[in-house]
Chains A and B, each alone.
Chain A
Amino acid sequence: MLRKYKYIVLACALGLASCESLDQQPLDRLSEKTFWTSEKETLFAVTGLYNGWESGSQIFYMDCASDNSHNDFSHEGFQQIGNGSFNPTNPGNASSRYTYTHIRRANWILEHIDQAPIAADLKKRLIAEVKTLRAYRYLDLAILFGDVPLITKTLTIEESAVPANPRAEVFKFIEDELTAAAADLPVVQAEKGRMTKGAALGFLARTYAFQNKHADVLKATQQIIDFNHYQLFNDYANLFEAANENNLEVISDIQYIENTFGYTELGIMMPNTIGGWSSIIPLQSLVDAYETKDGKTIASSTTYNPAKPYDNRDPRLAATIVYPGALYAGKYFDPLGDTKDHPASADNASNSGYNYRKYLQNPSSYSNVWNVGVNIIVQRYAEILLLNAEAKIELNQINATVYDQLNKVRVRAGLPKVNESEYASQGKLRELVRREFRVELAGEGRRRFDIIRWGIANDVMNATVYGSLSKGSVNATTGEVTFTNLTDRFLVEKRTFTAGKNELWPIPQSAIDAGKGSLVQNKNY
């Protein structure tokens, strides 16, 4: 036997014959045929689904598709969505959102997880996590694009040109999936960052809210409240800081680790003078939405001084936005004078004279702002409280709990409680809760969702958008702002919004083309 083998080796060495089989297997990748044989492998696959399930940038940029923010650079893909110039061949960011990558990952796990030799309760939990993540992606698709193909299994090449399902069918699917997942998920996961019962119900509440199914929103949010697990973090400004990640207000987030698994795009929001790009900038419309410190709107407050527009305001303004005269990164922010933060001075200076401050209270707290470990929040308890209050208002079940939910959010922010006599009617309360949604969640990518579901997008998006007052000065030692003209503002851009069209995003032409006739473009594109 061994002798025989020797001859073969000799023959190989002489180059007269070759001895290796043509049936080669990959050396550095696992074969699908031999996968799903252990718990470790199953967890490996589920972790692979979490990878990139949502991106911090998509959340931050999303406000540029609303009247909160502006994307200063068209190549970044949101400017055209904000000003209505996007279309199928120039869809901006729509091309990265029209994706089935994670849906396929989820379908693949769900198709195979049954064969994995893992404990039944673990399997149940993982299936629920996977379904939650898949539903989250479908919710994004259905909200942005309307009718989309509903695919629940991995497709073969031949099957892959799939026509769209009606949006209602997709919403129904999401509701069923999230309801089932919520039943199987724990309130608290041992590993932070995994989908929980609260996460599934939170996304479910969004699904209902978008369809104005107020009773269902109420039910879902009430379940979350009734866990008695979540609570508002005591400090609004620092809620988003790395030091406080995984606090009890967070329901779902994207988890990062500095350097090792870092978030690399926080710097795009910073002002030019400290090396940022001002890619995503707040608009005057948002600044004006903040109440004064006494709990009144700027239109009705006697404490509001148009010449000192940032004094005596809702503390969330200073926590969210860097405005002229704000003490930021060791100096007083000055977009008015001959500085590199003046909109006309440099390309990376904010065109509105404002920058975002959320997640960036103190940029130097990050050793490298382009590779940070702070988790980016996808959903937090304040949103649930507001959805809960809104549902009751819309159902006209106005009672003390409505004011309680609103007060929790306002008081944490440093505002007085709701003036119940002023905000007594359904209409006034609707106005209030919508304002709270806007300022509480400013810069967190929720505004587009809200203006579409409230049907106000056409009203708020068809506008020329401005930044701060443009004439004046900032005292470099005291930060005192003096405006010399109370009407001239930084002009940001002229926007258009076409009702009956721009509520949905166009399906990117590349997807239509690749779909080989299976997909129909959204109306009026």
Chain B
Amino acid sequence: MIKKITKPFFVTSFYPMTSALMLALTLPNHVRANHADNNSMQSQLNQQQAVSGSVSSSSGPLNGVTITVKENPALATSTDNKGKFSIQAKSGQTLVFSLVGFEKLEQVITSANMSVQLTESNETLNEVVVVGFGTQKKVNLTGAVQAISSKDLQDRPVTNVSTALQGKFAGVTIIQNSGQPGKDGGTIRIRGLGTTNNANPLVLVDGVESSMNNINPNDIENISVLKDGPSAAIYGSKAANGVVLITTKKGKMGDPQLTYSGYAGWQDPTRLPKYMRSYDHAVILNEALANQKLALRFSEADLEGFKNKSNPDKYPDTDWLDLLYSGSGLQQSHNLQYSGATEKVNYMASLGFMDQKGVIDVAKSDRYNFRTNLGAKITSKLSMNLGLSYNYQRINEPVNPYTGDMAQIFRQANRIPSFIPYKYSNGYYGYYGDGNPIAWLDMKSTDAMIYKHANINVSAEYQIVEGLKFKQVVSFQPRDNMSSKFVKEIQFYDNTTGLPSQKQGVNNLTVYNNQEELLTLQSLLTYDKTFGKHQVNVLGGFMDETRRADFSSAYRQNFLGTELQELVLGDPSGQVANGGAKKLILRSYFGRINYVFADKYLFEANVRRDGSSRFVSSNQWNTFPSFSAGWRIAQENFFQNSSLANSISELKLRGGWGILGNQTLTGVGENAYPTNDEWYPGIYTINSGFNYAFGNALSSGGTVSVAANPALLWERSVSSNIGLDLNFKNKWSFVIDYFNRTTDRLYTTLPIQFGLPSPTQNAGKVRNRGLEVQANYANRAGEFKFDIGANASYIKNEILEWKSDAAEPHSTFYVRDRGLPLRSFYGYETLGIYRSDQEYVDSKVKGVTGDVGAGDLIYKDQNGDGKIDGNDRVYLGSPDPKFIFGLTTNFSYKNFDLNMFWQGAADVKGYLWGEALGSITGSDKPTEIYADRFHIVNNPNGSMPRALTSWSQNSASTNPSDFWVQNASYVRLKNITLGYNIPQSVLNKIGIKGAKVYYSGQNLLTITGFANGFDPEAPADSRGNYYPQVKTNIFGLNVNF
């Protein structure tokens, strides 16, 4: 018999919900209890001795039950797969048995061998949820707070946290627009889009505002989302878009744990546009030219050449997208974590490595994460915590010599026709006007970015008297973001003469340095007291944040070669240097009272007073109050005495109201200097850089180029929430919330005559109303266990007030108007296609342009004035979905588990235009959508407008219409994971406590009615110049040593 104490994969006692979940669901059978020696059991029980025994439920032995000694919580163990345990304890002490899904049991030790039975419970009475500046029992929550644990994040090949959150929360929309390595974070919207300004939620990591993308998903203990006003108001002027609280892992009581998790796999692009190849394109181009009575581009011989493909130099048929998406897409991730705790010290340290290669050449990312959390009880009254993390990430992206960015590579690949060759047989590159996107990629011009982010978080907590604690937090986050973009010139040659022809760019280098510092100070005073049936928690606090951002950049060109890529080797002539800095200070006082009477009546009030340097004088300070209350009906005597109590274990009604603010004007990428987020919007300033050359000398000049608005106030949201929590004893549970959030003081545009771009103004009012439903069901039948979580939400976004009375288009295809969603497509309503020139003449409605006839779209003359113009445009739907839903299913049987996660959106529109749609011209290529175009002879019933090289009447980009704004509802299998826990018998032989292998796939299946070849999650208003979404297949391994 092996006399060795082994510990479970993760042992926890502080966060019963999360830890127990992990225990129950990660690695069954990996725990070996301490099998005590029979002889030792005979010895005196009042000595510290091994107590052993077994734990079972009505359906058999229980694996993974956490057992701690109440008098000395440092002692902990858990049961093995036969329900056996052993622990060092003495008679008279009390053992605490806990497991998620079961009632907690306390048992005084009376003998050296104990056999206990746990009763199942669907309630987790002691489940604790992280809320603003603290934690709260879930049963006592009065607001709309939803939390998930590390369990929900594991075994998925997600590269960033936002992706992992997709579909997990009701009312939280996360749209992932790109699969680019290192830049694949999603956009998070909590309960709809409430503003034209910054709409990103506030993200706090371990209590301090931080970046979601700086965290290794493996380091996360849990995530809470504060969705409603009452819960978020404690964050005042930053909370209007909701708050995401992330807590990182801490060491858990017990022996050191070492775990490894890793995966490797590959990525492929998801749906890509399908473009016409040479022959089809040549035919349709000729047809278009014929329709316009212009000379044909291709002769019959040319068409024949494209058809038989015998002369690839003269009649190429290049598959540009195939050439573009030739990157391996390989990715791998490895993480090591060790943690543990003694009575006085807890520690956790982790190392993470992730490496991703793009689905296109050059694009790649590698990331290294380090984190340690160290806590110590210095005295019985004083404890301290130190959190350190450091993230180092390198991202490479290809750039081109024509525009100097990456997007143009995608754009050109989506434009350049197949009848342009990639290379001629003599090796010369083919090209057309804007170049050759694959030749650009071949040059490997790279924008190399390095992000170094550190986070130092120190806190001390002192207990002044019983229940009264003071906590001081100091956090400092330096961020260093640099990039070095070396663009290589390219010379194309005439393939017949060999003479140089087109040249793009000059060899040039731009280096960029952006440094940011965020210093956060927090002082918190808390008082917790229970008197009889009265429970009171009081919080008072002060917070101060100072943020400073500095950038410098330098440019030189005409490098002699391209091997060495440092600034000093460039030509000083034409060099450019630039730099700037800005600073923002936020100061806040806040307080909260929680009061619970008889575990039935819950009340909470928050108030926060915020001052920000962003605003001018009297507008600097504002107050954000909130109130909420809850009633746990199921705890009432009348309820418990009724028959309902037999089936319902929890019924709680919640409601609240609060005011929230938003002071960030424009959300900016965290690694970029916040150029677009105005930090001094109330002060008219003179911007430099408006230079001019007098003679041959450059004079520096400046002007007021941005309007200021000294009257600017906080953007304000008034948010109310009514919710119902309902748990059935038959394992069903429901959470239903109705919310209403009205944001006013929104911004709007100004007439051209103002002469400056609009300043941020407080001008409009937007309401988001909706309903969220979450349902969970869990059950088990012998060794078959499953749970299902579903969430659905309906969000109605509506502009209530706008400064102008008239509809206000703010681009060629969006409109803002009362009664419409904030983002609303705007354009013509189509009534089909004119099937003859006469039909157009007979309609007596003059088209958008002069030259309309058979094969053109028929627009509805909304105002009946006999012509189609801007006044005939109507609302065509919104790119923001009205319905979103997520479905998570977990099945496990013996050593296997299968998890699936589906996500969908409905009542949402996407817009086909630009390169994503393509055009016939020959400087662009058409997608196969054009195949069924109208032709008076060949295809009089065609579903598409006639072929034209210049589509004035039908143009998707200049004349948006419901022909191009289409239903983009979808259901997507975001993730499927199949795992196998390696049996303990095998692991014992190699001395490993637990191991699991799994396969996981992301974005494997998409069901949508949106145009073939288009990703419904792609940005709604993009022309197709983006890094596509990816699907991922990986194999992973988790080991607990």
Contact = CB atoms under 8 A, between A and B. Distances in A.
A18 B709 contact: no
B708 to A, nearest CB: 8
B118 interface: no
Contact of A74 (B433, B699, B950): B950
A160 B753 contact: yes
A32 B709 contact: no
Nearest to B678: A26
Contact of B295 (A20, A491, A512, A519): A491
A191 B721 CA distance: 67
A442 B594 CA distance: 81
A383 B701 CA distance: 31
Contact of A275 (B503, B574, B579, B851): B503
A154 B293 CA distance: 51
Contacts of B580: 27-28
Majority DSSP secondary structure for residues of A touching B: loop
Interface string B573-616: 11000011111110100000000000000000000000111000
B690 A51 contact: yes
B848 A89 contact: yes
Nearest to B757: A101
B809 interface: yes
A21 to B, nearest CB: 8
B750 A157 contact: yes
Given A26-B685, A48-B703, A274-B502, A194 B694 contact: yes
A197 to B, nearest CB: 17
Interface stretch (A2-10, A80-88, A319-327, A443-451): A80-88
A525 B698 CA distance: 43
Interface string A275-293: 1110000000000000000
B429 to A, nearest CB: 13
Given A35-B686, A277-B433, A47 B692 contact: yes
Contact of A157 (B691, B709, B808, B873): B709
Interface string A247-259: 0000000011111
A483 B869 CA distance: 46
B696 interface: yes
B585 A24 contact: yes
A149 B753 contact: yes
Given A16-B523, A108-B703, A509 B809 contact: yes
Nearest to A89: B870
A154 B755 CA distance: 8
A400 B581 CA distance: 66
Interface in B802-838: 803-809, 812
B680 interface: yes
A157 B680 contact: no
Nearest to B759: A157
A16 B470 CA distance: 12
A80 B870 CA distance: 17
B574 A155 contact: no
A50 B684 CA distance: 21
Contacts of A49: 701, 703
A228 interface: no
Given A29-B688, A35-B686, A347 B753 contact: no
Nearest to A271: B501
Contacts of A477: none
A513 B293 CA distance: 36
Interface stretch (A38-46, A168-176, A428-436): A38-46
A513 B808 contact: yes
A33 B582 CA distance: 18
A151 interface: yes
A399 interface: no
Given A100-B755, A151-B753, A88 B686 contact: no
Contact of B750 (A257, A261, A348, A514): A514
Contact of B707 (A157, A261, A275, A512): A157
A94 to B, nearest CB: 12
Contact of A514 (B472, B690, B691, B808): B808
B701 to A, nearest CB: 3
Nearest to A154: B755
Nearest to A470: B295
B851 A85 contact: yes
Nearest to B289: A344
Contacts of A416: none
Nearest to A512: B870
B814 to A, nearest CB: 11
Interface string B953-965: 0010011000000
B786 interface: no
B699 A90 contact: no
Contacts of B474: 14-15
A51 B700 CA distance: 10
Contact of B700 (A14, A44, A509): A44
A15 to B, nearest CB: 4
A381 B119 CA distance: 101
B693 A104 contact: no
Contacts of A33: 684
A108 B754 CA distance: 12
Nearest to B302: A344
B148 interface: no
Contacts of B709: 157
B952 A85 contact: yes
B761 A157 contact: yes
A259 B703 contact: no
Contact of A15 (B297, B521, B692): B521
Interface in A505-522: 509-519
Interface in B746-767: 749-756, 759, 761
A32 B684 contact: yes
A88 B583 contact: no
Contacts of B573: 259-260
A182 to B, nearest CB: 20
B754 A15 contact: no
Given A16-B472, A20-B546, A32-B704, A50 B753 contact: no
A123 B922 CA distance: 55
B665 interface: no
B107 interface: no
Contacts of A23: 613, 617
A103 B755 contact: yes
Contacts of B752: 98-100, 511, 514-515
A162 interface: yes
A22 B587 contact: yes
A496 interface: yes
A510 B584 CA distance: 35
A272 B434 CA distance: 11
A79 B958 CA distance: 14
Contact of B699 (A31, A47, A246): A47
Closest 9 CB pairs of A and B: A104-B755, A47-B701, A259-B574, A275-B502, A48-B703, A348-B433, A28-B580, A18-B544, A48-B701
18 contacts: A14-B472, A16-B521, A21-B613, A23-B617, A26-B680, A27-B582, A28-B580, A30-B688, A47-B699, A103-B755, A108-B703, A193-B693, A259-B574, A260-B573, A275-B501, A347-B432, A491-B294, A496-B850
Interface of A: 14-18, 20-33, 35, 43-52, 73-74, 79-80, 84-85, 87-90, 98-101, 103-105, 107-108, 149, 151, 154-155, 157, 160-162, 191-194, 246, 255-262, 272-277, 331, 340, 343-344, 346-348, 368, 371, 373, 490-491, 493-494, 496, 509-519, 525
Given A16-B523, A155-B754, 20 more contacts: A16-B472, A22-B612, A24-B583, A24-B584, A30-B686, A44-B702, A47-B690, A47-B700, A87-B849, A88-B869, A98-B752, A104-B754, A160-B750, A160-B754, A192-B695, A256-B693, A257-B697, A261-B692, A275-B492, A511-B752
Interface of B: 293-298, 432-433, 472-474, 492, 494, 499, 501-504, 506, 521-523, 544, 546, 557, 573-574, 579-585, 587, 611-613, 617, 620, 679-680, 683-688, 690-704, 707, 709, 749-756, 759, 761, 803-809, 812, 848-851, 869-870, 873, 921-923, 950, 952, 955, 958-959
